[in-house]
Chains A and B, each alone.
Chain A
C-alpha cells in the first residue's frame, strides 16, 4: 500500500506533509486540493514530516489536505513521438493543454497512445540482451528510433518472443524477455526513467575527440567543441548570448537538437516556436523542427518545475544517445536553474553559501555537466550528448558562484563580453579569455590532423598568439600614442585586426556568412595566416591603417560571397592585387 499523508504547513511552494509510512528522498507525491492534484517532490524528511516542493502554485491550499505518495522519483516517459514536441519542465505537452492560461494540476503526456508505428525487429528470439540493447526500431521523423530494453532492467535477459514487423501502438507488447530466474517480462515501446538519475547503460565513456562542426568560426577554429563535449557561454544581458546559441543549434552537425529554455523570457521561447518550424535543416533539406525537442519553462512558470526542466531535457538526451545518435543539448540559462535551487534552499532555511546559493551548488553543476559525453554503446556503436549551457552572471560579474562552478565543470568557455558587443564585434566572444580544453587533447589533435590537415592546430595556435600580441601592442599604442611606438607595432596590431574581422567576426544575420563549413574555414584560415606571416613595406602608420582597412573590406566581401563563386574569386583577385602592392616577397 502506498504511503499517504496530510498537509501540516505551507510556505509558498514548500509544503510540509506528515506521512503515515515510508517515503524516499525525491519521491513524487500528489497533494489533493478540491478537484486538482498538485505534483510535488520530497526534498527533506525530518521524522514523520516530509518537506515537499510543489511544482505549481499553492494558493488556497489548506492544512489537513491529503497527499498521496507515488513510490517513485520524478520520471519522464520515453518512447517514439517526442521529436518536434513543445514540452514543459515536467514533460507535459504544451500544445495539448487547453485554454490560453496554464491550468494548475493539468498534466498531458507528449506521447500519442493511438498512433501506429512501423516496427522493425532488430533482435531475434534467443538473443541475450541487457538494459539499453536494441530490440527493434521505428521511423520517427526520418530518424531510426530504437526500441530498447528498458534502462531499469538489471542483469541479462533472453528474448523469448518478439513481434513480427508491422504497425504497433506504443503500449503494445513488442517483445517478451525472460530474466535469469526464468520470469517473463513484457516490453512495450515506452519506458519510464527518473530524471535526476543518469542513464549509464553503455559500455564505456572515453574522452571525446570528434570535432562537432558548428559553422561558427570563432568556435570551430579558435575554440572547438567536440561531439560529447561540454561548453558554457556566460554573458551580460544584451551581448548576443541567445543569438549565438540559436546559431549553434541551427547549424551544428547533430542528429537531435534539444533546447531547454529554462527560466528565460517567454517572447524568446515564442521566437523559437515561431522560427524553428520555418527553418530548413542545412543537412537534410527538411525542417529542423523534425529533429528538435523544446523543453520550455519560462521565467513566470512555477519555480520548482524550472529546476526539473534541465533534468528532463538531459534525460531525453540520454535516451536518444542510447540509440547511437548525436544529441546537442542547449540550456538557456543555467543561472535560472541555480536560482531555483537557491529559492528552495532559502525556504528550507539551509545555511547559505556565497550569494545565498546552496553550499553544494558547484557539485550539483558538475554532476549535471558530467551526464553529457561521448559513449560506446554495448553493441559497439557510438552516441553523444554535447551540452552547451549559458550563464547569466549577475551584473556581468564572472566571479559569481554559478559562473565559477560551471567553469570547473565545462571544458569550453565562450566569454561573451560587453566591450565586444559595444563595438559591434559579433559574435561578441572575447578571443583571448575564451578557451577550449579539447584542443590540447592528443586524441583531438590526431583526429583533426586526419580530418582537416596536420598544420591546422599550429595555425590556430599561431593565430591565438597573434591576437594576444595584438592586444598588447594596442595597449602600448594607447599609452604612448601612434607616433610613440615603432611601425612594427602598428603592423602587428593590424594583422590581429585582420584575424578579428575576417575569421572571428561573423554575421549571424547574413545568409552566406552565418554558416561557414569547415572546408571554407580551412581555406580562409590558410589565406589569413598567409597574410599574417607576410612582410610589408610602409613609410608611416597612417599608411598601415588605410592599407589594412582596404584589405579587411575585401576579405569581408569574400565572407559575404558564396564560396568559390565568381564574386568570391573576383574579390580574391582584388585581394591578390592589394597584397602585391606592398608585400615583400
Chain B
C-alpha cells in the first residue's frame, strides 16, 4: 500500500510483543489500519498517546525504529461486479495475478441487520447429498457448520455442496487452508466452469495466522454487496473456523487478556456470533447462507469453539466413516438442521418428514442390534433385518457421494424400507403408506 505525501510517519516503537507493537501517536481512530514497515496492522488499543497495533504479519524482525503510517480508515474492500471469479488474500488484494478490481470502497465488519428487516427463511437449498437434503435439509439464510475431525473430507463435501446448490454467488473464505486444499478448490471451481460465480478470500498455512482474522469479514462484506445490492442468493463457505478462533486466542493472549474456557478469549461467543449472524434472508430475495467447517479434536464437542458455535448456528452436520460400507456418511443421529421443518414436507414431497423420521428410527434400531451383536447376544429376525436395512441405507442415502434429487431420495428410502420391513413396522401415517409404499 503506497503512502501519501502528507501522511505523518512515526518511527519510535516503544513496545513489541509477538503479535502487537505500541508507539506514541495522536489523532488515531479505533480499529484504524496502519502499516508498520509496510506490514499491515490494526489499532486494537489506545491509551492516551500510546497506540497498540495488532500486526497481521507477525512482528518477527520488527525494528523499534520501523516506519509506522496510519491509513485513516478501518480495513476496507472494494466491492463491485469485478469481484466475481477472483482470488484475494486476507487484505482483499488479488493473488491470482489479475488487476486490482474497481468498485466502491466499504469498511468490512459493518453493522448488523435490523432483526425486524429480516424475513423468515423458507427456501430449500438442494445439495444432492441425501444425508443433508433428506435428514438435515438446508434453507437459504441458514448458518450451519460441519463438525469434522481434521482427517475427514469436509473440504471436498463443501466444494460439492457449493457446486450443486442453486445459488447466484459462492464466496469462499479460506482460513489456514493448506496450499493443496487451496489449489483443490481452485481446480474444482475452474473445471466445473463456474469460476465467474465465485469469489475467494484465502489465507493459507503459509500466511501469518493473525491475518486470518480478516477473512470472514472480507468474505461477508462481499456477500452483503451481492445480497443487498444485487438481491442475489449468496452462499458463503468458511473453512476452517477453528483456525480463526485459534488466531483470536493468539491476539488476546499477546494483549494480556485473561483467558476463559480452553484458553479462548472471553468474547469468543460475540466474535463468532458477529460472523455467523450475517446469514440472512431479505424480503426482496437476496440471502446469505453460511456453511462453515469447525474441526474438532478427537470429536470433542464440549471444547469452547464447537460449543459456542453450536449455540450460534442453526444446527450442525457431522461426518463419520461408516466401516460397514467403507464410506464417509453424514451421521443421522448427531447432525441437525434447525430450520429443516421450514421446508421439509412444504417445499418437498408431503411424505418427507415422516419418511425421514421412520428411516432414522430404524437406523437406530440397527445400532442397538449392532451393540447386541458386539456383546455376544443372539439377534432376533427383526435385528437381522434392521442391520441389512442399515447397510443399504448407509450406502444409498447417507454416503456423501450420493447425488439425487429429493423425490428420488424419498423413493429410494421407501424402497429400502419396503425391502426389509413390514408396513406396520414403519409407524408411518396410513394415508402416506397407501400412496407411496412400493407395491410389488
Contact = CB atoms under 8 A, between A and B. Distances in A.
Interface stretch (B7-15, B27-35, B125-133): B27-35
Name the residue in B114, B301, B304 with the highest tally of chain A Cβ atoms < 10 Å from its Cβ. Answer: B114
Nearest to B264: A356
14 contacts: A8-B47, A11-B46, A59-B29, A60-B30, A63-B48, A94-B115, A102-B112, A266-B113, A267-B121, A339-B269, A342-B266, A346-B266, A352-B260, A396-B302
Interface in A373-404: 392, 394-397
A59 B113 CA distance: 17
In the A-B complex, the 6 residue pairs with the smallest Cβ-Cβ separation, listed nearest first, are A395-B302, A356-B260, A299-B273, A300-B277, A9-B47, A60-B29
B29 A397 contact: no
Interface string B227-250: 010000000000000000000000
B87 interface: no
Contacts of A583: none
Contacts of A9: 45-48
A267 B312 contact: no
Interface in A200-244: 237-238
B110 interface: yes
A101 B48 contact: no
Max chain B Cβ within 10 angstroms of own Cβ: one of A95, A102, A103, A422: A102
B258 A57 contact: no
Give the interface size bracket for A toward B. 35 or more
Contacts of A271: 120
B4 interface: no
Given A266-B118, A342-B260, 15 more contacts: A16-B47, A59-B30, A59-B74, A97-B116, A100-B228, A237-B311, A267-B279, A273-B116, A299-B269, A343-B267, A346-B258, A349-B258, A352-B258, A395-B301, A396-B302
A299 B278 CA distance: 11
Interface string B87-127: 00000000000000000000101111111111111000000
A274 interface: yes
B254 to A, nearest CB: 14
B282 interface: yes
Contacts of B30: 10, 12, 58-62
A554 interface: no
Interface string A329-346: 000000010010011011
B26 A63 contact: yes
B273 A300 contact: yes
A60 B278 CA distance: 22
B115 A95 contact: no
B310 interface: yes
Contacts of A10: 30, 45-46
Contacts of A62: 27-30, 46
Contacts of B303: 395
B314 interface: yes
A527 interface: no
A16 to B, nearest CB: 7
Interface in B201-248: 228
Interface in A417-454: 422
Contacts of B265: 346
Interface in B8-60: 26-32, 44-49
